[in-house]
Amino acid sequence: MGRREIIELAMRLKPAERFEVAEELLRSVEEVDPEIDRLWLEEAERRLAAYRAGKVKGIPAEDIFGAV
């Protein structure tokens, strides 16, 4: 199976499944430092907790990326 066929099959997946595939592919070619992953996870959890507690407000995606 060629690259194009693999991409076409992957595009049929649900967005969350495509994200998982993309993440696995990236990890297969990147040097992964477990400490960096741990720190990013802590930061993401801290930001989510602050958002849920009302300490920070979200920014609509349209304001960041513009109309698609």
Distance CA 20, CA 28 (A): 12
Express each pLDDT in 33-68 by its tens digit: 889 889 999 999 999 999 999 999 999 988 888 865
Alpha helices in the chain (DSSP H): 3-10, 15-29, 34-52, 61-65
Question: Is residue 18's pLDDT more than 70?
Answer: yes
**In terms of pTM, does the model score above 0.75?**
no
